[in-house]
Amino acid sequence: MPFLAVTLKADGSVSAKSFDTAEEAAAFNKRAATLAKH
């Protein structure tokens, strides 16, 4: 079963990316959260 990471951007747009494992999705979310802080 694929996993989906959805990102809501500050301008209101949304992007989604699918992953094969929960670990890949979690790593993507962690990178996205780190980038959002800067």
Amino acid 2: pLDDT: 85
Amino acid 11: pLDDT: 93
What is the model's pTM? 0.64
Amino acid 33: pLDDT: 84
Rounded-to-integer distance, Cα 27 and Cα 8, Å = 17
Rounded-to-integer distance, Cα 22 and Cα 38, Å = 25
Rounded-to-integer distance, Cα 6 and Cα 25, Å = 10
Which residues in the chain come in under a pLDDT of 50? Answer: none
3-state DSSP of 17-38: EEECCHHHHHHHHHHHHHHHCC
Rounded-to-integer distance, Cα 5 and Cα 34, Å = 15
